[in-house]
Structure 1
Amino acid sequence: MHDAHEFLKSLTIVLGVAAVTTVVFQRLRQPVVLGYIIAGLIVGPHVPIPLVADPVVVQTLSELGVILLMFSLGLEFSLRRLAEVGPTAGLTALLETSFMIWLGFTIGRLLGWTGLESMFAGAVIAISSTTIIAQAFEEQGVTGKLRQLVLGILIAEDLIAVLLIAVLTGVASGSGLAPGPLAATVARLVGFLVALITVGLLLVPRAMRAVSRLNRRQTTLVASIGICFAVALLAQAFGYSVALGAFLAGSLVAESGEEKQVAHLVEPVRDVFAAVFFVSVGMLIDPRLVARHWQGAVALTGAVVLGKVTGVSLGAFLTGRGMRTSIQAGLSLAQIGEFSFIIAGLGLALRATGDFLYPVAITVSAVTTLLTPWMIRASDSIAAWVDRKLPGPLQTFAALYTSWLEELRARRPANTALARVRPLLRLLVLDAALIASIVVATSASIRKIVAVAQNDLAMSELVARSLVIGTALALCAPFCLGVVRVSQKLGVTLARLALPTEQRKRVDFAAAPRRMLVVTFQLAAVLLVGMPLLALTQPFLPGVPAAALLGLLVAVLGVAFWRSATSLQGHVRAGAQV
């Protein structure tokens, strides 16, 4: 009886205060998400106000909000639509999360944190919050290509988060980055997704169509939510997030063709529990801990806002999503959430981090969550302003580059053309994997090798260490050169696919645009290979030599890019005058 009373009391306090703050924020014309977070601060245990809800009860109810929000998102993304945005979203997420991991690690080291704490800090700021963005998009009516791109990136980030958790668990527990367990983790994730989607496609659409034919709204609602929780529970049983399972459940239900009816029925239930989720975020904010660790909170908050906007915008643009849409996507994804709490809590549980990282993660999430609705609302005007302020050569290039890639996607290159691209991609991945293996193996064994050299060969520590590092660099050199050469060849191949050479014409008018595309594709390939490689090897390298090397290579390509862009604008002007 006492438990039932506490449950009802907590639910009453949460919904009552949330209702008041929601009304106030709507009157002030501010996003209601902010009102929910303020409500959480009011009913939380860290503020001296005599309205305290039970955190355990609120946390349990907030899980329902996460599941229902993700299920609603899945209803908008049938598996066919997910496959359409998958490649672009996946590459963008890979580039952006790699950049954020490196940035977080670098900031952690500058703040004096240990290498392991810095690794966890990088992972904490790498993954955006699907739940928070979904609610903000729903509230502000964001639709179209921007919504599809952002949600596709979020799903890719969730998959990356699963791998990050596995890697960090291995590193923190002492097993390190063993290739065997890591490969097993990837294989298990792929196997789970393939099995779930295969069986789900056979059962879920047929079941939902049969239920829908009964023309009973209540039955349809109960059946759809039952499928949602069943798949979420299945994902949790296999060690994955309930959010991933709920999203896949929504996608499977969408394959039945009844997604609009189901979305309409689920919406009121979803909104209630989504409100509880955002209240739970506000309850985690402890002003005293924020004041104590303000430097880390400020640094990581700035990294999330600036890093996410930069990484997502660059990645989305390079994969052909247009300048304005890319910038809007970057501004929409500039926050962290539920996976960051999980990763920070994992570090605390494994004693890999101090007790400061969890409150810092919560603070960064709370601040960026407060900023998210405003950034989404202002994203269109900010993107338009950036587009107007770009130098002329970049404006010309951005417009033509996007149209070229859209045409290339629409044309669907023949199998013979794709056959020329696939071996180059495999070579890029192989070269990057070999470089990473050499760096990690050298870092793991350098102490033992130096000790053997000192004892058996009577070498000094400096000489032995220099020989080991020199040997590692010599082994890496051909593969680094291979990355540059293969990326250039890949750029030439893709440029010829986008702008084929006209054999019959004496004058090749596409030569200047093609040169521009070659440099751009080469730059994209170097970044897509270099950033993940940098994120993986940075913890094993002293100082910032890898970052400096990648920065130098990008700078050289940047100079070539600017020259090509200027030449392209000259050709466009000359053609316009003719």
Structure 2
Amino acid sequence: MHGAHEVLQAIAIVLCVAAVTTVLFQRLRQPVVLGYILAGLVVGPHVPIPLVANPDVVATLSELGVILLMFSLGLEFSLRKLFSVGFTAGLTAVIQCAIMVWLGFVVGRAFGWTSRESIFIGAIIAISSTTIIAKAFDEQGIKGRLRELVVGVLIVEDLIAVLLMATLTAISTGAGLSLGELSLTTGRLVAFLVGLVVVGLFIIPRAVRAVVKLNRPETTLVASMGICFAVALLAQAFGYSVALGAFLAGSLVAESGEEKVVEHLVQPVRDMFAAIFFVSVGMLISPALIAEHWVAILVLTLVVIAGKILGVTLGAFLTGNGTRTSVQAGMSLAQIGEFSFIIAGLGLSLRATGDFVYPVAVAVSAITTLTTPILIKTSGPVATWVDRKLPKPLQTFATLYGTWVERLREAPAHQTRGVEVRRLARLLLLDAALLIGLAIGISLGTRKVALFIEERTGISRALAENLLLVGVAVLSVPFLVGIVRMARRLGEVLAQAALPPRQDGKVDLAAAPRRLLIVTLQVVTVLLVGIPLVAITQPFLRGPAGPLIILVLLVTLGVAFWRGATNLHGHVRAGAEVVVAALAAQSHSREPGSEEHALDDVPKLLPGLGEPVPVRLEDSSPAVGQTLAQLNLRGLTGATVLAIQRGEESVSVPTAQEVLRSGDVLALTGTQEAVQAARGLLERGGAPIASPSTS
């Protein structure tokens, strides 16, 4: 138990030093989080400065910062918002975590660490830091779709972390991990979440509304804090993180409709304890340990930044987000944090890892904490650069793919053939599970079976092992073929739901987009199944057989994808002529309001082009006099210009150097959100959605 004097001394030292460093960083126009980290380094035990705060006291106080930050984050995201991004966030988190677990294991083995240590390293670098991102987003004022997507991914990652910890505990204690145990662990987690949400929805929103009606701010603050810490404690009692409990408490309070009132009252308390949390992270930085393990720390830092940017960007894009949002999400999630400390501490307590793993995790977390604000701040320009450098066919695909996914989400239930999709998904998972079981089973039993064959037949053990491996490879082929076939069939069913084929015997003008969508959905399925499969089986298999198989599949699909993207680009150029004709017909019409409905028939004629919307540029438009390259409409909003009607002239698929003039009618296509943002930019010069520099 800490004495009152120790607590007072720690708070005084931490807050005074943090105040000085944050004022300095504000003057330098740098994120204040970096100032907190520097303050932690100053008052920590590893730097010879006569200002040392008790690390245990600071760590205890920092836990309050985590809880309050997560509670505030929950206030911004009601359960309805979370469910709306749940599918996208879930798939993105699975792809990213699987990639990082595999990369961590590979790096660990390359450094000569044991298999268990390498598995722990993979788990440590798989989970991003909700606390760090929440603070960085608050500082840079990031709202909208980007924030919702990132927070959704973080919540799913926290749930994955719970499963990883249960798995690692079972492996490290020698109890092994059966499918039944993993199912039981997952079932308990789901039961806890469902039970808490159901019961909480009946009690917490009503209670909060009743307290707010009293119109006593201090009563509202105390009651809200009571709910926050009670739910956090309940989560801890069930073996889950206090951060998860606090977030759910905030989401349940948000369902009351009084979240703005509560958030305003909580903010000052949250900011103070959040500062202590980041100072506590800085106190963990040991220059001596960093110097000792600098190579591993450098490599893992690069792997975390590059791997997470790639994994999240890929997952977010393939689930229907635009290029800009996907790149920004990837650069926002490129760090590790509090869960990494927990997993590293678990490895030490179970004696599954060496003493070096924890300080390495702390150092990587500290460095990526420093880089996170910079990456978030530069993510907008980087996303713009990426969009400009994409080949033309990929730019076209990136714009239209979002509209296809949007149509798929909005399609009626009977059109999406949910029963068929679920059946194919079950078969797909069954093939993957059998393949995993076969790989792990033969890995664990190869030596015993080879010894048995040697004793009975006289064949050498080495030859017997090679024969077994060949046999397993042959047995694996049907499962691999099954996965590819199910992925293809699943892609066909979903693509037909998004872009239904014509039934009247006429030319199917959606054929080219549908073929490309089928291939893309195949890629998504292979990634969703293949990457976790590789991550799970890699510790049991010799050599890079698993990754090579996935790579061959992706290269094969990549060739088909490129052909489809090239054909789609030609399809769009032809479709743009139809748009030009529709705009030209409108320009000769005298009927009022005809311009607004000029492109209403285009989606029926060319279903793969989304729903083009005409926008007229007035004299007051900020876009007048700018080229499309200067305007950067697609890079900022995700919408693209299919055609321009200019008096008696028409321009189909305009180039980047096309100068916009007053009176031009632009045919925009993209998702509804992208087109809405583009209209705002063209008509009023409004800020693009979720841009770090403008939000």
How does the TM-score come out when normalised to structure 2? 0.82
Aligned residues: 578
1:550 aligns with 2:550: yes
1:471 aligns with 2:471: yes
Comparing 280-289 with 421-430, which one deviates more in the overlay? 421-430
**Structure 1 CA distance, aligned partners of 2:394 and 2:460?**
54
1:176 aligns with 2:163: no
Aligned to 2:458, the other structure's residue is in SS state coil
The answer to whether the 8 A contact 2:77-2:251 is kept is: yes
Aligned to 2:373, the other structure's residue is in SS state helix
Counterparts in 2 of 1:231 and 1:438: CA distance versus 1, 3 Å: same
Aligned to 2:3, the other structure's residue is in SS state helix
Match of 2:69 in 1: 69
Q: CA deviation at 1:2?
A: 8.4
Q: Deviations over 1:260-289 (max 9, x none)?
A: 111111000000000000000000000000
**Unaligned residue ranges in structure 2 (runs of 5+):** 579-695
Q: CA deviation at 1:508?
A: 1.0
Match of 1:386 in 2: 386
Which has the greater radius of gyration? 2
Q: CA deviation at 1:410?
A: 2.9
Aligned to 2:228, the other structure's residue is in SS state helix
Identity %: 64
Comparing 190-199 with 497-506, which one deviates more in the overlay? 497-506
Comparing 451-460 with 57-66, which one deviates more in the overlay? 451-460
Q: Deviations over 1:172-198 (max 9, x none)?
A: 111223223222211111111111111
**AA of the residue aligned to 2:81:** R
Match of 2:525 in 1: 525
Match of 2:501 in 1: 501
Within a 5 Å distance, the mapping from 1:343-358 to structure 2 comes to: 343-358=343-358
Comparing 465-474 with 400-409, which one deviates more in the overlay? 465-474
Match of 1:431 in 2: 431
How does the TM-score come out when normalised to structure 1? 0.98
Match of 2:157 in 1: 157
Match of 1:80 in 2: 80
**Structure 1 CA distance, aligned partners of 2:416 and 2:295?**
55
Say which structure is richer in helix: 1
Q: CA deviation at 1:412?
A: 4.2
The answer to whether the 8 A contact 1:65-1:270 is kept is: yes
**Structure 2 CA distance, aligned partners of 1:445 and 1:199?**
47
Match of 2:33 in 1: 33
**Structure 1 CA distance, aligned partners of 2:283 and 2:2?**
23
Counterparts in 2 of 1:197 and 1:548: CA distance versus 1, 3 Å: same
Match of 1:220 in 2: 220
Match of 1:340 in 2: 340
Aligned to 2:408, the other structure's residue is in SS state helix
**Structure 2 CA distance, aligned partners of 1:196 and 1:505?**
54
**Structure 1 CA distance, aligned partners of 2:2 and 2:76?**
41
**Structure 1 CA distance, aligned partners of 2:484 and 2:80?**
35
Aligned to 2:370, the other structure's residue is in SS state helix
Q: CA deviation at 1:505?
A: 5.2
The answer to whether the 8 A contact 2:415-2:497 is kept is: no
**AA of the residue aligned to 1:185:** T
Match of 1:489 in 2: 489
Match of 1:535 in 2: 535
Q: CA RMSD in A?
A: 1.3
Q: CA deviation at 1:116?
A: 1.1
Q: Deviations over 1:331-389 (max 9, x none)?
A: 00000001111111111222211111111111111111100001111111110110011
The answer to whether the 8 A contact 1:413-1:497 is kept is: no
Aligned to 2:285, the other structure's residue is in SS state coil
Aligned to 1:136, the other structure's residue is in SS state helix
The answer to whether the 8 A contact 1:129-1:337 is kept is: yes
The answer to whether the 8 A contact 1:393-1:569 is kept is: yes
1:444 aligns with 2:425: no
**Structure 2 CA distance, aligned partners of 1:433 and 1:134?**
36
Q: Deviations over 1:458-485 (max 9, x none)?
A: 3311122123223322332211110000
Q: Deviations over 1:88-134 (max 9, x none)?
A: 10000000100010111111111111111111111111000000000
Comparing 408-417 with 166-175, which one deviates more in the overlay? 408-417
Aligned to 1:414, the other structure's residue is in SS state helix
Q: Deviations over 1:200-222 (max 9, x none)?
A: 11111111111111111111110
Match of 1:317 in 2: 317
**AA of the residue aligned to 1:561:** F
Aligned to 2:176, the other structure's residue is in SS state coil
The answer to whether the 8 A contact 2:416-2:494 is kept is: no
The answer to whether the 8 A contact 2:408-2:416 is kept is: no
**AA of the residue aligned to 2:135:** Q
Match of 1:511 in 2: 511
**Structure 1 CA distance, aligned partners of 2:231 and 2:81?**
20
**Structure 2 CA distance, aligned partners of 1:496 and 1:279?**
54
Aligned to 2:417, the other structure's residue is in SS state helix
**Structure 2 CA distance, aligned partners of 1:504 and 1:182?**
50
**Structure 1 CA distance, aligned partners of 2:142 and 2:560?**
37
**AA of the residue aligned to 1:198:** V
The answer to whether the 8 A contact 1:36-1:278 is kept is: yes
Q: CA deviation at 1:452?
A: 2.2
Match of 2:104 in 1: 104
**Structure 2 CA distance, aligned partners of 1:491 and 1:382?**
31
**Structure 1 CA distance, aligned partners of 2:534 and 2:131?**
29
Counterparts in 2 of 1:487 and 1:67: CA distance versus 1, 3 Å: same
